[in-house]
Amino acid sequence: MKAYIHELGVLDKTGKTHPVRFKQGLNVVTGKSSTGKSALIEIFDYCFGSGEYTVPKGVITDSAALYYVYLNVNGQDVVLGRLPDGDKKAFFRREENYYPEKINRDYFLDSHFMTLSDFKKHVRALFLDIDDVDDSLAARENRRFNAKAPTPSIRSFTSFMLQHQNLVANKHALFYRFDEKEKREQVIEHTKIFLGLVDQKFFHLSQEKERLATEVNRIKREQESNKRLAENQKQKIEPVLRQLYAAMGFSEDPISLQDILRHPQDSKERLEKILRPEKIVPLSDAITQLYLRLKEDLADKTSELRRLQRQAGSIKHHIAEEEKFVASGVIHQLGETVHIAKSVCPFCHTEHEQLLRSAEQLQQAISKLSSNLKQAKPMRAKFESSLVDVQRQTEGLSKEVTNISSQIIEIERSEKVLSEKKNLYESILLYKAKLDMLLDSLNLANDAEVEERMKAAKDALRKLDQQLKEYDYKDGLNKANDVVNAIMNKIGQHFEFEDSYKPINLHFSFETFDLYHLTPKDEKIFLRSMGSGANWLYSHVALFLALHKYFASLGEQCAIPSILFLDQPTQVYFPSFKFDKSDTFNKESIKEMEQRAEGERQIDDDMKAVENLFSQLSIYCTETEKEDGFSPQIIVTDHADDLKLSDETEFETLVNSNRWRSRGLINPIPNE
């Protein structure tokens, strides 16, 4: 997102403003120690919704009545403000244009202050239009109080925008706020939103897909339930129907069992027309054939049942034997030595050791057997599983045997009734009455209606999948990785990495936010293992320049503001800058502060590295503006001054009056 800061400042307790003004592209705030340079990044962070008040204690905090940031977001000018001491209210006001003269005590009206929570929502609306990032409503239901997943926050943007003094050359951390696991995970999770790879519609589609998938599974369970119910009803109705058709003497089924199960009431009406006296085939032996088939089935099923019962008995016996074997203490401790008298011939009195050797071999065999038995795994679990399986088969077969027996008894009873009443039709009516009763009890769902619902749900699911394919954010993240890595290594070629890391081959992943150097042997060397503060600094700078170059190329598609703070990056070369109290910046004052031992890197070499760093930042901004139409705003706060840049940019144009050697951020300091 195209964004830049017009000015950032402090309103002191006397009502005077202390602004620091910036332009697009590269800005440098330079000065000696304790002038408020590092406070700028903290003031911006605080005005950008931080819940912590981390402005360094001193003149600034003693003087401040309010902190503010005047910035432009994609053509919209806004002023953000915060009261000191961690006040949980924040100021938000829109402006038509940048009017620096407006900023005074009377500008910050109470009506524009709001709770910090509402403030973050107002600022977020400048960058993002999204309210719900749950892709699973089921997951939401499992959260406490049915809470929504955390929506993207402007606080996540700061991880891409701020490189504090203790972070810019850190080997253990790359991103601000990533020391908190939850915040790190939120930034990574929301990056696909920040890069414009998904939008609000994506999450609504994902929720609908989950709902439809749940509906498909519910209908599938309904179909399975109906199938089980139909099978149960079939087992009850089929025998009666077979006996009825056999009694009528039909050689073929006039109405199939499946049709009867599918349309029971319609089938009843059709059977009324079929089951008439004149349609009986009295000479048919269908009932006899049915009876014989049932007898054969009964014999086969009974035989199989007996086999299963014997198998169950055998398994139970094995289980009992194993229990007895373990309980009897067969596995016991044996003596380590064998005492056997020597064998002596009664005639020649010759001693024989064969018996002793045999005894020793026996002892070894027993010991080995005992050891094997100790190590053997018990078979009880396998036996019990087999027993359960056999018992289930036995139970099912028993039901079949009972059912067949009932059918045989029913036919025999009907034959007896027929012999007594001499009226076949009356027997048929008895079968029909029983069938009608069973049909009336049917409560099967309409299979066609259920199938239609399933088809509609699956069709809708396919359409959703097609729509979601447009949001292939994983592929988008992979492509983003490739672009950022290419830019990063192009930038890295111009920095003085150690020889062992040349040519630099940095790799960054939006899925993990890890950074490493890949050697020609495909060895990954992560930042923490690279060694040298210069390597850490250049890795940070190369990565963040590459990220913002990529963000700039996305234009309005990217929600991340195109602002980057680098706080005192030259400390890698001049760690003693913290003692910089001089009113001027020159080599002599640097040498005096550094006091390097003989053999250490020369001051001139480090100055060249510093000048190269600022030169590359300047070149980066110029080239990015040419390629993408605008340049990210880079704000560097540092001690370095009067540098000669390789792109012939005048360093003074980058400082733009923000040189603090005879003054500080608060100037003049209010009277007590």
Helix-then-strand count for the chain, H and E: 19, 16
Predicted TM-score (pTM) of this structure: 0.72
Chain segment 477-506, per-residue pLDDT in tens = 999 999 999 999 999 999 999 999 999 999
Termini Cα distance of the chain: 43
Per-residue pLDDT at 598: 47
pLDDT attached to residue 153: 92
Give residue 327's pLDDT. Answer: 66
| Burial per residue of 74-96, b for 16 or more beta-carbon CB atoms within 10 angstroms, e otherwise | eeebbbbbbbbeeeeebbbbeee
CA 7 – CA 18 distance, rounded (Å): 10
Q: Per mean pLDDT, which range of 49-58, 78-87, 203-212, 576-585 is the poorest? A: 576-585
Q: For residue range 57-81, what is the model confidence (pLDDT) as tens digits? A: 999 999 999 999 999 999 999 999 9
Residues 429-456: what's their mean pLDDT?
77
CB of 411 closer than 8 Å to CB of 291: yes
| Token pair for 159 | 């991880």
Q: How far apart are CA 274 and CA 260, in angstroms?
A: 14
Q: Is the peptide bond before 264 cis (omega within 30 degrees of 0)?
A: no
Give the total residue count for the chain: 672
Provide the pLDDT confidence category of residue 182 given band limits of 50, 70 and 90.
very high
Between 335 and 573, where is the model more confident?
573
pLDDT reported for residue 385: 86
The whole-number pLDDT of residue 117 equals 93
Following DSSP, what letter does each residue of 526-590 receive, concatenated? EGGGT-SHHHHHHHHHHHHHHHHHHHHHHGGG--S-SEEEEE-GGGGT-GGGGG---SS--HHHH
pLDDT at 443 over 90: no
pLDDT at 137: 76
Residue type for position 430? L
Name which residue leads in pLDDT, 531 or 67: 67
Short-list 598, 579, 569, 635, CA closest to 166: 569
Q: How far apart are CA 564 and CA 480, in angstroms?
A: 19
User: Strand (E) positions, 87-164?
Assistant: 89-95, 113-115, 162-163
Q: Give mean pLDDT, residues 284-310.
A: 84
Beta strand pairing call for 3-12 and 524-526: unpaired
Q: Residue 593's pLDDT is what? A: 62
Between 240 and 147, where is the model more confident? 240
Q: Are strands 633-638 and 563-567 parallel, antiparallel or unpaired?
A: parallel
Percent of the chain with pLDDT over 70: 86
- Asked if 548 and 617 count as a contact pair (C-beta separation under 8 A), the reply is no
| pLDDT tens digit sequence for 390-422 | 888 998 888 888 888 877 887 777 667 656 655
535-544 average pLDDT score: 97
pLDDT band at 600 (very low <50, low <70, confident <90, very high): low
Per-residue model confidence (pLDDT) at position 568: 94
**Can you tell me the mean pLDDT for 76-100?**
93
The pLDDT, as a whole number, for residue 550 is 97
- Higher pLDDT pick, 580 / 130: 130
- Give the chain's mean pLDDT: 86
Range of weakest confidence among 140-149, 199-208, 455-464: 140-149
Confidence of residue 513 (pLDDT cuts 50, 70, 90): very high
d(C-alpha 67, C-alpha 19), whole Å? 10
Q: Look at residue 609 and tell me whether its pLDDT is greater than 50.
A: yes
Q: Which domains does the chain have, with CATH numbers?
A: 3-129+152-198+472-660 (3.40.50.300), 227-328+359-449 (no CATH)
**Could you tell me what percent of the chain has a pLDDT over 90?**
53
**Mean pLDDT computed over 557-566:** 96
The answer, yes or no, to whether the previous bond of 503 is cis (omega within 30 of 0) is yes
CB atoms within 10 A of CB 484: 21
In the predicted structure, residue 142 carries a pLDDT above the cut 90 = no
CB 24 within 8 A of CB 581: no
| Residue 493 to residue 491: CA distance in whole angstroms | 5
Q: Which residues pair with 352 in a beta bridge?
A: 343
In b/e form, how buried is each residue of 120-135, taking b as 16+ CB within 10 angstroms?
bebbbebbbebeebbb
Q: Is the pLDDT of residue 283 over 70?
A: no
- Residue 605 is predicted with a pLDDT of 84
Q: Which residues pair with 20 in a beta bridge?
A: 8
The lowest-confidence range among 125-139, 265-279, 328-342, 344-358 is 328-342
19 pLDDT above the threshold of 90: yes
